């Protein structure tokens, strides 16, 4: 058991979770107190000792499923026997003569439907296993990922059709009611189908682990934590996770900045408060009291490239900056591709930042000639229209990869802006190694900026916002 | 150390007896906290029963609940201990006539009878069993967190004038956090971590039925489903469990035995506390026109007819 646990912790660390020595020891002590047969409790106990951050829970869950999907306590060596069993099932699949082989597709669909209507979890699990046997066509040693098998199984199961048939049945059983009733019923069925999908996924994973071994499987499933996901290469699911991570992150950051600001350079002496405090020391002003300082909040102008390659980066940064708006006295923003358009109005009109971002994507007028990034032209227009609005309190943030499609960079514009502004920063979503390769002209602009930052994930973004809010 | 629970199942059952429905995750961690004698850090959205958990544990173990509400500016005088300075003054003044030795006075005024215990010290020194609740620990400054560390890991308090005061017992400690800031690693390392989230449909339904006993099964199911539906929307603040319970009570109070769009429209403000959220949820759930048969689910209806 301890060996398995060590491997488990090792894999968690490899996935990026900070598991300390004490936490490791706690986990070892903890598993002595619980019955491993109860998987939910076992998982809760390991999670409580090893995972100290909610964002890391998903990563933990994945590793847990891989490590303990086959591990059942019971008799000593129980591990082996169940592993063998899964292995046998797998071989049987390959031979095409599995236990579920006799069942026709329609029969399986019917049985699934029955199980889903009554939500009979045991038979659902059994049927999910059957479905994997019938449809996934798993072959031992074949080097494809679990998603491939999952896709094959789900395509054959046709969950949409199952959902529709469930709705049909529900209607036969009695009136569902109005639109609201329909909606609630539909959501209920969606939830059940999601559960079925998870069962299928777990079954596939179980068999893959049996085939390839725990460590290899854990390695293939390893995913970056939300705060380490690269903006430019995020998948759809990762985007959603990022989206969710932004708000709590900004709230935490805002609280931290507010506290730090309060403590840093205190205001001048508050005479009244000092005298009042002195009363408890017999009239001796032993404890001087100070006024709260007036925080000087910077004014922010964001100018973002939203051409295809860096669009998601710009979106996250804008969202982040607006979520932090309380930390700045004023936030204005522009987006460009080869034309430039001010988008502050969208954020003012929409209460919801996501709506605003959506309107930016659909309504902003950013194409001038051909829809390929032209930093030079966009910056020049910005300079002509808005230079006089830049004041010594303004910090300008430029977002983009500086891939200028070999147009003229017009870097002097940045110099002119900097002369009037407090600071000019540039955030580049590309890894540092790619800068100045191909059509990237970042160093021409860099010469005029106060700082150039590599900004590829939420962690980088958070660091940057801390810097400017304090500057 | 007397062990409070025999098994995880027992934790679940006893918590249920005080109307707190714990899932495997919560019960498992509570059980472990007792066994390993470690504090539990509970995080999660507001209103999912974090503070309630501490109260429930106190109730089932027959312990006194000592609560330390955290806020910005909390210091050791309010969390740990304070010298009763007025009493010390009196002692010194009372002594003037006797002209006793200064060293004697000094050792006298820094003795335990001049010590005012604050929640943390009180919790570990109490004779009766105690559940210590440190509420909203994310509100104190990161430096103040350090005050908690000695108590949480060794259950002792060091007082410079008096030496180290060892605890007479190891209480169950529950820290709650709304996650407005990241807590320090040092604190997290000393705690077991429990993230409490919104419950799933079945558990929420059970909670409603336990907390609002007069409600019938059908209505509880509907309430839970509507709330789940609302939580799926992208809102500023999703309805919490306590708001669900309030809503169920409101429905009963209004004498509704069914959740219809009109009822939702009238009572949405019980569940949601931001105007923009209410508008959004109303748009989704309450159709403005009289509902047309089959719209929105046309595809479904056609397919199922086959």
> Which chain A residue's Cα is nearest to B184?
A52
pLDDT(A150) > 70 = yes
CATH of domain B8-75+123-195: 3.40.50.300
> A residues 145-204 near B, CB within 8 Å?
161, 163-165, 167-169, 171, 178-180, 182-184, 186-188, 191
Element at B43 (helix H, strand E): strand B40-43
* B89 in reach of chain A (CB within 8 A): no
Q: Give the pLDDT confidence score for residue A354 in this predicted structure.
A: 67
> Which chain B residue's Cα is nearest to A243?
B234
Largest CA distance in chain A: 95
Q: Chain A closest CA to B286's CA: distance in Å? A: 7
> Which chain B residue's Cα is nearest to A22?
B189
Q: Which residues of A touch B300 (CB under 8 A)?
A: 163-164, 167-168, 186
- pTM for this structure? 0.73
* B213 in reach of chain A (CB within 8 A): no
> Which chain B residue's Cα is nearest to A160?
B300
pLDDT digits (tens, 9 = 90+) for A344-393: 888 777 766 667 777 777 777 777 777 788 888 888 888 888 888 888 88
| Long-range contacts of A133-137, Cβ-Cβ distance < 8 Å, separation of 24 or more | A133/A89, A133/A92, A133/A93, A133/A98, A133/A99, A133/A100, A133/A101, A134/A98, A134/A100, A134/A101, A134/A103, A134/A105, A134/A108, A136/A93, A136/A204, A137/A93
pLDDT(A73) > 80 = no
pLDDT range class, residue A71, cuts 50, 70, 90? low
* B1 in reach of chain A (CB within 8 A): no
Average pLDDT rounded to a whole number, residues A102-109: 72
Partner-chain residue, chosen from B24, B182, B232, that has the shortest CB–CB distance to A44: B24
Locate the domains of chain B by residue range: 8-75+123-195, 81-117, 201-284
> Which chain A residue's Cα is nearest to B139?
A255
Q: Which residues of B touch A171 (CB under 8 A)?
A: 304
pLDDT digits (tens, 9 = 90+) for A210-253: 777 777 777 777 777 777 777 777 777 777 777 777 777 777 77
Q: Chain A closest CA to B6's CA: distance in Å? A: 10
* B218 in reach of chain A (CB within 8 A): no
In the DSSP assignment, the letter for residue A440 is: B
How many beta-carbon contacts under 8 Å exist across A and B?
138
**Of A156, A160, A178, the residue nearest A108 (C-alpha):** A156
C-alpha torsion A304→A305→A311→A312, nearest 10: -30
Of A325-339, A348-362, B10-24, B268-282, least confident by mean pLDDT is A348-362
Best residue in A12, A48, A259, A281 to probe B by mutation, most B CBs within 10 Å? A48
């Amino acid at each position: 058991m301890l060996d398995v646990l060590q491997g488990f912790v090792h894999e968690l660390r490899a996935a990026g979770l900070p598991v300390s020595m004490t936490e490791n020891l706690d986990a070892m002590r903890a598993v002595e107190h619980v019955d491993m047969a109860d998987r939910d409790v076992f998982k809760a106990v390991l999670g409580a000792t090893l995972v100290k951050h909610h964002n890391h829970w998903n990563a933990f869950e994945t590793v847990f499923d891989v490590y303990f999907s086959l591990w059942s306590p019971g008799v000593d060596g129980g591990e082996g026997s169940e592993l063998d069993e899964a292995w046998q099932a797998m071989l049987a699949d390959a031979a095409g003569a599995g236990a579920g082989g006799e069942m026709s597709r329609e029969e399986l669909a019917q049985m699934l439907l029955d199980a889903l209507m009554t939500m009979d979890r045991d038979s659902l699990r059994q049927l999910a296993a059957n479905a994997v046997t019938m449809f996934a066509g798993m072959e031992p040693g074949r080097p494809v990922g679990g998603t491939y098998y999952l896709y094959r199984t789900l395509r054959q199961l046709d969950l949409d059709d199952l959902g529709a048939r469930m709705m049909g049945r529900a209607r036969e059983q009695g009136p569902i009611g109005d639109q609201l009733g329909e909606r609630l019923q539909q959501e209920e069925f969606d939830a059940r189908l999601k559960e079925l999908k998870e069962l299928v996924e777990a079954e596939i994973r179980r068999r893959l682990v049996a085939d390839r071994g725990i460590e290899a499987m854990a390695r293939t499933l390893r995913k970056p934590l939300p705060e380490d996901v690269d903006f430019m290469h995020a998948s759809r699911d990762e985007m959603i996770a990022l989206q969710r991570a932004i708000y709590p992150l900004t709230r935490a950051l805002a609280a931290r900045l507010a506290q730090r600001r309060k403590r840093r350079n205190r205001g001048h002496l508050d005479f009244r408060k000092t005298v009042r405090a002195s009363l408890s020391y017999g009239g001796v002003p032993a404890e001087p009291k100070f006024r709260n300082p007036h925080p000087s909040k910077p004014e922010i102008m964001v100018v973002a490239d939203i051409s295809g390659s860096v669009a998601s980066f710009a979106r996250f940064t804008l969202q982040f900056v607006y979520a932090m708006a309380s930390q700045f006295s004023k936030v204005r923003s522009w987006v460009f591709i080869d034309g430039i358009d001010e988008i502050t109005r969208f954020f003012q009109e929409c209460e919801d930042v996501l709506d605003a971002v959506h309107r930016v994507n659909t309504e902003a007028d950013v194409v001038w000639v051909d829809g390929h990034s032209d930093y030079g032209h966009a910056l020049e227009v910005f300079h002509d229209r808005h230079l006089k609005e830049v004041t010594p309190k303004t910090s300008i943030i430029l977002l983009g990869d500086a891939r200028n499609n070999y147009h003229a960079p017009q870097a002097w514009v940045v110099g002119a802006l900097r002369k009037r502004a407090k600071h000019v920063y540039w955030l580049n979503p590309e890894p540092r190694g790619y800068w100045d390769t191909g059509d990237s002209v970042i160093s021409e602009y860099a010469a005029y900026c106060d700082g150039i930052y590599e900004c590829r994930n939420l962690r980088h973004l958070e660091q940057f916002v801390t810097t400017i809010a304090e500057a | 150390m007397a062990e409070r629970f025999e098994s995880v199942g027992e934790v679940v059952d006893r918590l249920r007896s005080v109307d707190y429905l714990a899932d495997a995750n919560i019960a498992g961690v509570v059980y472990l906290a007792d066994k390993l004698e470690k504090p539990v850090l509970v995080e999660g959205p507001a209103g999912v029963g974090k503070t309630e958990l501490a109260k429930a544990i106190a109730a089932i173990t027959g312990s006194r609940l000592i609560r330390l509400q955290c806020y910005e500016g909390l210091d050791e005088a309010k969390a740990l201990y304070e010298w009763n300075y007025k009493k010390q003054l009196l002692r010194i003044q009372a002594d003037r006539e006797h002209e006793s030795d200064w060293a004697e006075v000094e050792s006298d005024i820094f003795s335990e009878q001049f010590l005012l215990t604050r929640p943390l010290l009180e919790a570990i020194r109490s004779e009766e069993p105690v559940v210590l609740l440190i509420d909203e620990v994310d509100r104190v400054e990161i430096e103040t967190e350090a005050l908690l560390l000695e108590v949480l890991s060794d259950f002792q308090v060091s007082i410079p004038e008096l030496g180290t005061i060892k605890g007479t017992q190891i209480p169950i400690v529950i820290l709650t956090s709304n996650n407005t800031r990241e807590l320090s690693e040092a604190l997290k390392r000393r705690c077991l971590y429990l993230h409490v989230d919104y419950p799933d449909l079945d558990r929420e339904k059970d909670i409603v039925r336990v907390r609002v006993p007069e409600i019938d099964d059908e209505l509880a199911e509907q309430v839970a489903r509507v709330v789940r539906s609302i939580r799926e929307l992208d809102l500023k603040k999703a309805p919490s469990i306590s708001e669900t319970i309030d809503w169920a009570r409101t429905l009963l109070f209004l004498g509704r035995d069914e959740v219809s769009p009109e009822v939702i429209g009238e009572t949405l403000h019980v569940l949601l506390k931001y105007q923009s959220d209410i508008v959004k949820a109303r748009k989704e759930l309450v159709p403005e026109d009289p509902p047309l048969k089959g719209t929105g689910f046309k595809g479904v209806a056609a397919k199922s007819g086959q």
